[in-house]
Structure 1
Amino acid sequence: MRQGGQALSESDQNVSIEQAVEAVLLTIDKSVKPAQIADAVGEALGVDIDSDVIRKAVEGLNSSYEASGRAFTIETIAGGFRIMAKPAFADVLASFHGHRASSRLSRAALETLSIVAYRQPVTRAEIESIRGVACGEVLRSLMDRRLVTIAGRAEELGRPMLYGTTRDFLTQFGLANLKDLPEIADAPAVPARLAQESTEQAPSADEGASDSAEPSMEGSQA
């Protein structure tokens, strides 16, 4: 890439790449993979860049945000990057958007979601065996929220549905991947943590449905 007949210095290129990465992240409402950003930014700037360059740019942006005391940062969510407000501003955002009440999950939903997250892929019968109550309506609610999806069918009599979490689950609870879930030894505290995080993140109901499925009719009599 050239400017005024001169090749841009490495420092100038880094600044330009950081600005381009920031512009991309400011225009999306879900996490985006480093490789996707690299392709778009590289093509636009006329330079060859890879995912490592994007990660370096994100580090630089976050350093700038921290130094200037900005209210947001770039988080690694579901294997991609996304600009998000810091947790300290959760109450302000919840109040402004009116999401506090609607974003809260019931205790039954939190318990069911915890079981799916840790035991996936898991059948409805397994979930109900652990909880001791019918879970059909709760599962449908979680699927409506795009937190749980059908992950396949079990190789057993009747081939019941298998359930698992979605990419939206990772996004809503601020997880890079399932390895970021609390240790199983902390499982009793998981519902409470999820309840707190669901309020802090408070995404819209229509956000990021690409990895979700339509609600299953299995257990419609529950």
Structure 2
Amino acid sequence: MNIDIAHIEAVLFAAAKPLTYDVLADIFESPKDDIILAVKELESYLVHQNRGIRIRISGMGVELVSAPEASEYIGQIRRKEDKLSNAAMETLAVIAFKQPVTKAEVEEIRGVNSDKVLKQLLSRGLVSELGHKDSIGRPILYGTTDEFLRSVGVNSLADLHEEVTHQDDRVEGTSDMTMVTAVDTVDETEALTTNSQDVH
């Protein structure tokens, strides 16, 4: 079936979030392989036409994002919005590289109370409760979410660890500063994510 890539672009634009190939196949009532080819065609078209939007494929699916070349201007919009605090970024880094981890373990690494920042990360969907540790008091275990992976533009935690390896050969016992540097791409990547308001 010949799928009009303009229709795929419209669907991704309207969704304003990642859609899996299976969902797209259901929407267009087409085989998944045809959808994959059509998405690749759209991806190539957007690049060759030097459009202001691009295709990004992650573990969460396919989505439209703003072109990297426009990041300076998109960033000006994002800078006017609330960003993660340095404390939240540090906490997120610890959780990303030590998960599953309890609040007490996060606080032991950071040396400060993390109640407020954990609530912020939970509210933004970057961190979630994974269960309870089998120890006295059964404290809650925290870990990062698919939204976190989408925000930093990687498909898995293994990919994130690989990026850190390129920055610092000391993967085992990575310092807090190295972890924060790796996860610090959250705000930068969020600045590239396109939603309907960005395009207008």
Give the TM-score normalised by the residue count of structure 2: 0.81
Q: Is the 8 A contact 2:60 2:146 kept in 1?
A: no
Unmatched tracts of structure 1, length 5 or more: 1-12, 43-47, 205-222
CA offset at residue 79 of structure 1? 2.9
> Partner letter of residue 15 of structure 2?
I
Partner of 2:6: 19
Which gives a bigger RCO, structure 1 or 2 (Cα 8 Å, sep 6+)?
A: 2
CA offset at residue 91 of structure 1? 2.4
Partner of 2:188: 199
Of residues 64, 86, 93, the one that matches 2:45 is 64
Q: Is the 8 A contact 2:132 2:141 kept in 1?
A: yes
> Partner letter of residue 179 of structure 1?
A
> SS state of the match for residue 82, structure 1?
strand
Q: Is the 8 A contact 2:95 2:106 kept in 1?
A: yes
RMSD over aligned Cα atoms: 2.2
CA offset at residue 171 of structure 1? 2.2
Alignment of 1:1-222 (within 5 A): 13-14=1-2, 16-42=3-29, 48-50=30-32, 52-95=33-76, 97=77, 99-183=78-162, 184-185=164-165, 186=168, 187=174, 188-202=177-191
CA offset at residue 17 of structure 1? 4.4
**Percent identity among equivalent residues?**
34
> Partner letter of residue 72 of structure 2?
D
Distance in 2 of aligned mates of 1:89 and 1:194: 22
> Partner letter of residue 107 of structure 2?
E
Q: Detail structure 1 runs of 4+ shifted over 6 Å in the superposition.
A: none
CA offset at residue 196 of structure 1? 4.0
Distance in 2 of aligned mates of 1:55 and 1:179: 24
Q: Is the 8 A contact 1:149 1:164 kept in 2?
A: yes
Distance in 1 of aligned mates of 2:48 and 2:122: 40
Distance in 2 of aligned mates of 1:60 and 1:88: 21
> Partner letter of residue 33 of structure 1?
T
CA offset at residue 134 of structure 1? 1.7
Give the TM-score normalised by the residue count of structure 1: 0.73
Larger Rg: 1
Q: Deviations over 1:134-189 (max 9, x none)?
A: 21111112112221111111111111001111222122222223222143543543
Unmatched tracts of structure 2, length 5 or more: 169-173, 195-200
Aligned length: 183
Partner of 1:218: none
Distance in 2 of aligned mates of 1:27 and 1:80: 15
Once the two structures are overlaid, the 10-residue window that deviates more, 20-29 or 185-194, is 185-194
